[in-house]
Structure formats: C-alpha cells, structure tokens
C-alpha cells in the first residue's frame, strides 16, 4: 500500500488479504431478523447539517462565479461524459451502498444527483468488503455509435474485478454487470469515430519486470462492443512507468483517451493519490500508440508549493476532460482541502478547472499554481447552486424531516441496501437495528451522510427507549469500522444512559456518559471546528450539554485511519451493542 492516505493497487498479496477478510467476516444473514426481537426501534427526525468553513465566508461569490469543489466531501475519482447538451458525472463509492453516485448538468456549473449507477445487490457485492474496497475509479462514456452510455470500473468485492454496465438513459437504471477478463484497475473506455472501441487501464508490469516500488504500466485492449468483452490477445503496453521511466515515476493510473484534430491523447494520473499526485498527457497518431509524452508535463499538480500555505488544496489529480459550452474544455479532478492540523476528514472531493486546448496539448488553467476556490461561470450560465434541486456547495444547510416518500440520494448505507433496515413513517425515519454493531465488516443498520466541511454541526432528534444494554441508537462519526465515534442511547440495569465512545484501531474507550430521561425525544448533536469535535445533547431543544469534552478528529482522517474515504455522519442503531458501561 502507498504511503499515508495514498491510493494503492491490489496486487496478489492485497487480493489475498481481501479474500481472507471476506472469509472471516461473512455477512450474518440473520441480522435483519434482529429487528423482530426489538420491541421499539428508534425513530429519527429533524436532521440538520450546517457547514461553515472559513474559506467560503472569506470568499463570497460575486455574480458570474461558482465554487470549486463542485462536490464537497467524499466524491473522489470523478469521470465525466457528454451527450449533446447533457453532461453526466460519476464518482468512486468503495463499500458505500448504493454505489457510484451520478450527477447531471446542462452547463457544468449546476448539478443534480439523479441517482446511483449501482443500486441493486445484483450489481454491487460489497457486503463483506472493507470500507476502502468495493468500487474504484468508475469511468462513464457516451458511445454515439450506438447511442449507449457505459460505466466501467473495478469492483474489489464479490469476486467481480473489472466490469461494465450500460444504459440508454442514465436516469432510468443500468444493466447488471458484465465481468471483463483482464487484471489491473482504473479501466476506461474509448469509442473512436470509426466504430472501433478500446479499453485502457492500469496494470502491473510483466511478471519479474517491476523495476521499483510503484512501477506500473498502462495497457490498451481492443473492445468488442457487440459482446462487451476485450478481444483476447490484443493487449499492449502503451506507457511503461510514466512520463520518464528513468526518473522512476510511480503509480501511473486513471487513464483516459481523447481524440482531437485526428490525433489521440492519453491523459493519466501519476505520483499516487497524495502529495505528489499529478496529471500528465501523451499524444499519438494511432489509438494504440506509440504515445509520446508532452514536454511540459505535468499539466496539473499541487506538489510544488509550501506545505503550510494558506487555504491549502492538495493531492490534485485523477482527472477527466470534457468539451463544454462554446467548445471550451473543462477538467474535473479530485483534490482535498485539509483542516488546520492537515487532517483529511472530508475526504477527496470533485474539483473543476477550465482547460486551455488551443495548443497541441491541453493544460489546466491555473492548475500549476495554488488552487483558488472560485471560478468564472461559462458565458450565459447563472449559478443556481443549492436552488431548484441543484447540489449545494460552499457553506450551506441541509435539512431532512424524512417526510418525503423516498430518501434523498445523499443518504447511503455501507455494504448493504438502506431499504433493508429503514422505514419512512409519519413520525420520521425508523431504523430497525441489525445485530451487527458499527465495528462489523458487514452491513450495519446505519444511514450515512458525508461530512462535507471541516467546520460543521449536525443535529438530529431521536425518540427511543432501549430495551436492554445490548440495544443502542444515536449518531456515529465514522471513518471505518475500526476508527469511529459512537454517541448513543442505551440501558444499564434499570437506568438509561447517553454514552460517547471512541474506537481507534478497533479498541473502544468510553469518553463520557450521562444518565438521561428517554420519555421525551432527545436531540443529539456533533459540532466540529477543524480537528476539534464535540458531542452534545438537549432535552428541551434549547440548551445543549456537552458529553466527554472536546475530542480529536484524528481518527476520522485518512492520515490516521488509512483508506480512501472521507468521514461519514451516521444515524445508527444496533441490537448487539458492545459498549459496556
């Protein structure tokens, strides 16, 4: 695995570890039955999340501007495609369920989430996957030759590996996966205007040919569109190591091919998803190469600037290009905005920059200087962020009373469908607790919302009378099963308690607890100011009392917990509580 928070590639050793974890942590099918043994399941209502990051307060939008990142929180590895005036964007989702969030726009500024590409258990087999396994680096492409959309990805779960799904309409559901017969990760499709198709992807060098740690290659295959398969025997290495193998470049990955003015351009990430991350570009007269690197690589990176710079954005790379309004190109890519202690609790979000492609090679405009937080909208486009169903960014408030017939798409499960444990009632969201608690490498009865700011507060009202010390419900702040906070109501003998517990590397410590009257609904709240988190409660909706003092968000950051995801805020219930008062 790569250094601190860096995206790794599953070699044989990693695959074995995943398989072993799967065998040790098989999903207990009786978990749904636990709900039947619980007399009174918790009901959640009046959820509110408010982000107040300083950078947005200090940089208010002026007319004709919009914020980047477009998607704050854990929306990494963006890929984008276009059909006419419709743009579609997807992200990695790892073990989140449903998987691969998909967004639609007609102007590249205002985006609506239209669902998820992988929303069925027949498509997504992550029930025993680690939080950073599952779905990696999806690529979305529109094939004008057959008027079909494709999403190709690597699923490190269920024995699937590289796979493709397709649809005629991204808003109306996608096919079941077709498993593809090649190794490696980060596959991308390219549909040429002559009817031919190709897959490019990251892979290991030929056996015994790896020259150094992080040495990878980019391969290309011919793709049989009629039968959705790579053509056996057509694989070819088109990049070995990276731009200049004599410099030992690491982790060449995330490839995409574009065609412009009759030439073929291959764009890849290089340097690993961390401080040395970058985007590089190659060109060829043929889709299968040979590809020659540009002499001005990288074309996007934040690697060269002081670590203590103000308003830092870092890790920029893993990009995809699209031709926007008026023929202007734009690039979407992942990056992070760490907190004051350089913690990465919000994960990797989706950023955007305009791209200058007036010369031979595309160059991200201002992609080689410290990234700013605002961009100019394309001509004639009005920023409607947060209005009329468009996704918000900057500082905003999201509220949900759970009174709609369907859940907002921003609510997700981990490792299993939300529908297995929730009911939307007239009084709010009822969560029927599984036997698994939050430490399980299995579906848990937890509804998650991504942490999208370094400074935020999240509040929810819970009505719940636990029946025993095995029952607990409340809020969790979750980086993974071995790194999390639980703030919930439970029972000891004949008394009811609110308990705050910290789990680090799988070891749980009680930070604080208080006796509480559960005859009335209780408001639970988490407040974060950078690395400082506080957990509070109220029984009158006016005065909030802190439990456990101020605690560190360190365990919610990838530099401590590892992996590739951002922190999640969860509404949680379990019938197998192991926090012993």
Name the catalytic one among 119, 139, 203, 253.
253
Model confidence pLDDT, tens digit, residues 190-224: 999 999 999 999 999 999 999 999 999 999 999 99
Q: What is the pLDDT of residues 426-454, one digit of tens each?
A: 999 999 999 999 999 999 999 999 999 99
Report the largest interatomic distance among the alpha carbons of the chain, rounded to a whole angstrom: 77
Distances (CA, A) of 104 to 3, 254, 451: 34, 22, 22
Q: Which residues pair with 504 in a beta bridge?
A: 483, 507
Q: What's the pLDDT score for residue 38? A: 53
So what's the pLDDT on residue 55?
A: 97
**pLDDT attached to residue 39:** 59
Residues in the chain: 581
Q: How far is CA 425 from the centre of its chain?
A: 29
Count other Cβ atoms within 10 Å, centred on residue 320. 24
> What was the pLDDT predicted at 372?
95
> Which of 77, 128, 203, 576 is an active site residue?
77
Domains of the chain: 43-49+396-574 (2.60.120.200), 53-376 (2.115.10.20)
Distance CA 112, CA 386 (A): 9
Q: Encode 283-297 in three state secondary structure.
A: EECCCCCCCEECCCC
Active site residue 253: yes
Query: How are beta strands 397-400 and 43-51 bridged, if at all?
Result: antiparallel
In the annotation, is 77 catalytic?
yes
Q: Which residue has the tokens 């999806």?
A: 138
The reply to whether the predicted model has a pTM over 0.85 is yes
The pLDDT, as a whole number, for residue 5 is 35
Residue 181: how many other CB atoms lie within 10 Å: 10
Nearest to 409 by CA among 426, 430, 391, 393: 391
The Cβ-side half-sphere exposure at 286, using a 13 Å CA radius, reads: 7
User: Which among 114, 127, 124, 10 is positioned nearest to 406, based on CA atoms?
Assistant: 114
Instruction: Determine the pLDDT at residue 328.
Output: 95
| Spans of the chain below 70 pLDDT | 1-39
Q: What DSSP character marks residue 84?
A: T
Give the number of C-alpha atoms closer than 13 A to the C-alpha of residue 488, restricted to the C-beta side: 37
From CA 411, how far away is CA 97, in angstroms rounded? 9
Residue 10 has what pLDDT?
A: 34
pLDDT at res. 238: 98
């Amino acid at each position: 695995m790569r250094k601190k928070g860096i995206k790794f590639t599953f070699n044989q050793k990693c695959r074995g570890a995943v398989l072993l974890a799967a065998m040790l942590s098989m999903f207990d099918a009786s978990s749904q039955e636990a709900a039947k043994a619980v007399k009174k399941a918790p009901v959640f209502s009046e959820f509110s999340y408010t982000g107040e990051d300083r950078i947005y307060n200090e940089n208010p939008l002026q007319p004709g501007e919009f914020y980047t990142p477009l998607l704050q929180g854990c929306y990494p590895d963006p890929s984008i495609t276009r059909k006419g005036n419709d743009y579609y964007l997807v992200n990695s989702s790892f073990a989140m369920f449903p998987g691969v969030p998909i967004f639609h726009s007609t102007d590249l500024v205002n985006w609506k989430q239209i669902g998820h590409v992988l929303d069925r258990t027949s498509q997504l087999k992550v029930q025993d996957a680690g939080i950073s396994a599952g779905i990696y680096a999806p690529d979305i492409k529109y094939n004008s030759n057959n008027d079909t959309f494709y999403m190709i990805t690597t699923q490190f779960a269920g024995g699937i590996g590289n796979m493709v799904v397709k649809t005629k309409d991204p808003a109306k559901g996608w096919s079941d996966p077709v498993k593809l017969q090649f190794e490696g990760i980060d596959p991308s499709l390219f549909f040429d205007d002559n009817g031919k198709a190709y897959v490019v992807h990251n892979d290991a060098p030929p056996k015994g040919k790896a020259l150094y740690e992080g040495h990878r290659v980019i391969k290309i295959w011919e793709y049989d569109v009629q039968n959705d398969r790579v053509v056996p025997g057509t694989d070819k290495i088109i990049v070995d190591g990276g731009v200049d193998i004599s410099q030992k470049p690491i982790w060449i990955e995330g490839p995409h091919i574009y065609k412009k003015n009759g030439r073929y351009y291959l764009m890849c990430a290089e340097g690993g998803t961390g401080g040395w991350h970058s985007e590089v570009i190659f060109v060829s007269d043929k889709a299968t190469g040979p590809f020659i690197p540009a002499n001005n690589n990288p074309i996007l990176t934040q690697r060269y600037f002081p670590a203590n710079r103000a308003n830092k954005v870092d890790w920029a790379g893993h990009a995809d290009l699209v031709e926007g309004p008026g023929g202007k190109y734009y690039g979407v890519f992942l990056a992070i905005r760490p907190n004051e202690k350089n913690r990465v609790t919000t994960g990797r979000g989706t950023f955007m920059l305009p791209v200058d492609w007036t010369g031979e090679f595309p160059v991200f405009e201002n992609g080689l200087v410290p990234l700013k937080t605002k961009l100019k909208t394309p001509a004639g486009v009005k920023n409607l962020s947060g209005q009329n169903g468009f996704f918000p960014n900057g500082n905003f408030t999201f509220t949900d009373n759970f009174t709609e017939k369907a859940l907002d798409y921003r609510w997700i499960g981990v490792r299993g469908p939300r529908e297995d444990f929730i009911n939307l009632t007239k009084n709010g969201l009822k969560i029927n607790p599984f036997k698994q608690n939050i430490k399980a490498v299995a579906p848990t009865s937890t509804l998650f919302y991504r942490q999208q700011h370094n400074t935020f507060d999240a509040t929810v009202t819970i009505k719940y009378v636990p029946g025993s010390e095995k029952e607990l419900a409340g809020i969790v702040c979750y980086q993974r099963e071995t790194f999390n906070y639980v703030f919930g109501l439970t029972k000891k003998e004949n008394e009811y308690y609110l308990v705050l517990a910290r789990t680090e590397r799988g070891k749980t410590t009680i930070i604080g607890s208080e006796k509480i009257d559960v005859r009335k609904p209780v408001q639970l709240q988490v407040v974060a100011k950078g690395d400082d988190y506080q957990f509070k409660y109220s029984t009158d909706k006016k005065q909030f009392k802190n439990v456990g003092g101020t605690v560190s968000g360190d365990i919610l950051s990838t530099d401590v917990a590892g992996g590739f995801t951002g922190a999640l805020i969860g509404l949680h219930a379990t019938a197998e509580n192991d926090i012993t008062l």
